[in-house]
Amino acid sequence: MGLTFWAPNINIFRDPRWGRGQETPGEDPLVTGKYAVSYVRGIQGDSFEGGKLGENLQASACWKHFTAYDLDNWKGVTRYDFNANVSLQDLADTYQPPFQSCIEEGKASGVMCAYNRVNGVPNCADYNLLSKTARGQWGFNGYITADCDAVATIYEQQGYVKVPEDAAADVRKAGMDVDCGSYLLKYTKLAVEKRKLSLSEIDRALYNLFSIRMRLGLFNGNPVKQPFGNSGLDQICSQEHQNLALEAARNGIVLLKNAKKTPSAFKNQNNFPCSNGPQCRFRTNTSWKLCRPSLQNYYTIERLQSYVKDTRFHQGCSAVNCSSAFTDQAMNVATGADRIVLVMGLDQTQEREKLDRVDLVLPPKQQNLISAIARAAKNPIILVLLSGGPVDISFAKNDPHIGSILWAGYPGEAGGRALAEIIFGDHNPGGRLPVTWYPQSYTNIPMTDMRMRPEPSSGYPGRTYRFYQGLKVFEFGYGLSYSNYTYEFLPVKRNKVYLHIQVSSHVVGNSNPPGFIPVSKIGTEVCDKIKHQVTVRVENNGEMAGKHSLLLFVRPANMSNMRPVKQLVAFQSVNLKAGERAEIELQLRPCEHLSLANEDGTMVIEEGSYFLSIGDKEIEIQAVK
């Protein structure tokens, strides 16, 4: 198939109902950007830093979906016909930053434009987006592809053009190079013949496409003699890779509630997640897209039996939608158990590409089954929740019969072992939620409303932890541990950030209100000089070693609907033994971390006080001119 990979998906997980949110790293632009850069560098090799590969590529990474794409199919509105109305302000400080990081820091070699329109213009036909922004402002050097049949939708679903060849011409002139579909194949020649498209646009596309093939070494002779020519099947399911799958599962599981740490017996409900490809343990000729929950479920029971041999299983529901709940049979099994683990949640029949949710709660009979078994159990039960997106489990959070709740996402082939290790206390959980968990009432907000910032006059609460002003089930970044960690800010070298501007004091005028300084007027040199380190002392006061994530937030002293309630500015994980402490340095970059977008999309810094916070600790800093 080649060496180009159409990944990563780095759209912001803006709405909790989005079926593809599970493919992304979450709702925060900083986290998404850092993830994107690491992902692309890992796929492509060291070409981003001029290493031994030079400009050559190990493989080509193509990030997606450009831009403001986070709706697939919601109440009859599809990604093919959706017109996302997005303000310049929200584009500048929410939707675009991960893409910019992926180009400027990750040096991605591919871009995929999205199906949807933004402010009336199809993404794949938007010259300002593809050529002016990605290539011109951010310095993108690579190829741009359409999502599959996205060119066809410009004519067939969106009616943006009157004839098919206009769609072929418009995307070429916008800067797109290749079509995942047949429209360019069918209509490019006609567009040229009608003088709607020049040959120079085709030449440009060929240049971009063949330059990537050259960087991949596809014209360098015998592939076996190339740097990665000996990569083969022996590297698939290697022990190193299986260990990495286990590490990812361990670190990604989030402890949401905890009263007791280590139960001693297990009952299970059959709804483990789909696997996008054969698991190493179960190598078959099964189709790559086939979901096999029974194999994942078997693996989990097997792992729990390694701790408690008398571990029994009962299928509590006929399927994940729980259209038929075997409540009586499950109750009979459960009442005889010392400890109970219920594995509940969602799967790809509930959330996936082309399918958004309409609810944030579990299927009704699932919830009823959980509550019934919890009431009948001898001891508080453990609830393991599998889902890609957030779920309103307020009923379980507040139920004293449910002692512990673990959110495992879709933990992959090693998820069963990781869960068993956490349940029985052999691994100390340290995962954090990458998205806000909203109450069911959030579904009253149309998924089509792209606004990030709240509008109190209309009751619109805003979106994501940065702007949302409403009740939460769990917050972004929430996650418990079997240890207790404490923090202390060490004295900072500077608690004032001087925003020396490069021109006269009149730079503030025009669209910026008094006290707001455009970052562009501060300049790169000053921005680099005012970067500084913030040192945090963290201590593990528990009895277990653990991996702990430090999340450094900033919030303004004076709140407004224009700026975020708070914003993540740095994060780092640290491994600490029981009783161990460490001093961790986190970098504060004021031009990036204290800035926000004004209404025309210009990044500005407001003079005044800010608070840096980590856990329950805060320190004040000031931005002054």
Q: Where are the domains of the chain?
A: 4-225, 237-431, 484-623
289 band by pLDDT with thresholds 50, 70 and 90: very low
d(CA 134, CA 28): 21
User: Left (φ > 0), alpha (ψ -120 to 50) or beta: where does 195 sit?
Assistant: left
Give me the pLDDT at residue 512, please.
Answer: 60
Query: Both tokens of residue 9?
Result: 């998906």
| Environment class of 185 (CB within 10 Å of its CB; exposed 0-12, middle 13-18, buried 19+) | exposed
Residue 508 has pLDDT above 50, yes or no: no
AA identity, residue 616? D
Average pLDDT, integer, range 83-99: 98
388 backbone dihedrals φ, ψ, rounded to 5°: -90, -40
What SS3 string covers 339-364?
Answer: CCEEEEECCCCCCECCECCCCCCCCH
Percent of the chain scored above 90 by pLDDT? 76
281 band by pLDDT with thresholds 50, 70 and 90: low
CA angle 187, 67, 276 (to 5 degrees): 85
Closest by CA to 17, choosing from 396, 602, 437, 432, is 437
Q: What is the pTM of this model?
A: 0.93
Q: Say which residues have a Cβ less than 8 Å from residue 566's Cβ, sequence separation at least 6.
A: 465, 466, 553, 554, 555, 613
pLDDT digit string, tens, across residues 150-209: 999 999 999 999 999 999 999 999 999 999 999 999 999 999 999 999 999 999 999 999
Query: Both tokens of residue 77?
Result: 């509105």
Query: Both tokens of residue 236?
Result: 């698939």
Give me the pLDDT at residue 234, please.
Answer: 82
- CA distances for 443 relative to 16, 391, 438, 461, angstroms: 9, 12, 9, 12
What SS3 string covers 172-225?
Answer: HHHCCCECCCCHHHHHHHHHHHCCCCCHHHHHHHHHHHHHHHHHCCCCCCCHHH
Residue 411 has pLDDT above 70, yes or no: yes
- The answer to whether 19 and 355 have CB atoms below 8 angstroms apart is yes
Residue 7 has pLDDT above 80, yes or no: yes
pLDDT digit string, tens, across residues 536-556: 999 999 999 999 999 999 999
> What CATH number should be reported for the domain whose range is 4-225?
3.20.20.300
Whose tokens are 């361990």? That residue is: 250
User: Left (φ > 0), alpha (ψ -120 to 50) or beta: where does 26 sit?
Assistant: left
**Is the four-CA dihedral 574, 578, 582, 588 of positive or negative sign?**
positive
Residue 259 has pLDDT above 90, yes or no: no
Residue 607 has pLDDT above 50, yes or no: yes
Give me the pLDDT at residue 231, please.
Answer: 79
Residue 604 has pLDDT above 90, yes or no: yes
- CA distances for 184 relative to 177, 180, 205, angstroms: 10, 9, 12
Q: Which of 294-298, 341-345, 354-358 has the lowest mean pLDDT?
A: 294-298
User: Left (φ > 0), alpha (ψ -120 to 50) or beta: where does 612 sit?
Assistant: beta
If you count them, how many residues does the chain have? 625
Higher local confidence (pLDDT), 479 or 305:
479
Q: Say which residues have a Cβ less than 8 Å from residue 57's Cβ, sequence separation at least 6.
A: 3, 44, 45, 47, 109, 212, 215, 216, 217
Query: Both tokens of residue 141?
Result: 């050097």
d(CA 394, CA 371): 12
Query: Are 4-225 and 237-431 the same fold in CATH?
Result: no
Residue 513 has pLDDT above 80, yes or no: no
Average pLDDT, integer, range 415-426: 94
**Is the four-CA dihedral 57, 58, 59, 61 of positive or negative sign?**
negative
Whole-number mean pLDDT of the chain?
90
Beta strand 402-409 with 381-386 is: parallel
Average pLDDT, integer, range 459-469: 97
492 band by pLDDT with thresholds 50, 70 and 90: confident
Residue 313 CA from chain centroid, whole number: 33
Q: Which of 12-16, 275-279, 443-447 has the lowest mean pLDDT?
A: 275-279
Whose tokens are 């500048």? That residue is: 92
147 is catalytic: yes
Beta strand 546-556 with 567-576 is: antiparallel
Query: Both tokens of residue 174?
Result: 């916008």
Whose tokens are 């990750």? That residue is: 106
30 band by pLDDT with thresholds 50, 70 and 90: very high
Q: How many other C-beta atoms lie within 10 A of the C-beta of residue 304? A: 24
Residue 454 has pLDDT above 80, yes or no: yes
Whose tokens are 């938007």? That residue is: 126
Q: Does residue 407 sit in helix, strand or coil? A: strand
Q: Kind and range of the H or E element at 418?
A: helix 415-423
- For the chain, what is the radius of gyration of the CA atoms? 26
CA atoms within 13 A on the CB side of 240: 3
- The answer to whether 127 and 173 have CB atoms below 8 angstroms apart is yes
- The answer to whether 165 and 194 have CB atoms below 8 angstroms apart is yes
298 band by pLDDT with thresholds 50, 70 and 90: low
Q: How many other C-beta atoms lie within 10 A of the C-beta of residue 192? A: 18
d(CA 569, CA 314): 45
- The answer to whether 583 and 536 have CB atoms below 8 angstroms apart is yes
Average pLDDT, integer, range 23-48: 94
Give me the pLDDT at residue 284, please.
Answer: 40
d(CA 148, CA 145): 9
- Give the domain 237-431 fold: Rossmann fold (3.40.50)
Query: Both tokens of residue 3?
Result: 């060496």
CATH number of this structure's domain 484-623, picked from the four choices 3.40.228.10, 3.10.180.10, 2.60.40.10, 1.10.3720.10: 2.60.40.10
Give me the pLDDT at residue 95, please.
Answer: 98
AA identity, residue 58? Q
583 backbone dihedrals φ, ψ, rounded to 5°: -110, 120
- The answer to whether 297 and 270 have CB atoms below 8 angstroms apart is yes
pLDDT digit string, tens, across residues 107-147: 999 999 999 999 999 999 999 999 999 999 999 999 999 99
- The answer to whether 24 and 32 have CB atoms below 8 angstroms apart is yes
d(CA 135, CA 204): 13
Residue 580 CA from chain centroid, whole number: 31
Q: Which of 29-38, 73-82, 88-97, 509-518 has the lowest mean pLDDT?
A: 509-518
DSSP-H helix ranges across 216-340: 239-252, 293-305, 327-334
Residue 275 has pLDDT above 80, yes or no: no
d(CA 342, CA 381): 8
Give me the pLDDT at residue 485, please.
Answer: 97
3-state helix, strand, coil in the chain (%, to 5): 30, 20, 45
Of 15, 72, 147, 177, which residue is the catalytic one? 147
Give me the pLDDT at residue 273, please.
Answer: 33
- CA distances for 439 relative to 187, 305, 433, 456, angstroms: 48, 36, 15, 18
- The answer to whether 113 and 176 have CB atoms below 8 angstroms apart is yes
pLDDT digit string, tens, across residues 208-249: 999 999 999 999 999 888 877 887 788 888 999 999 999 999
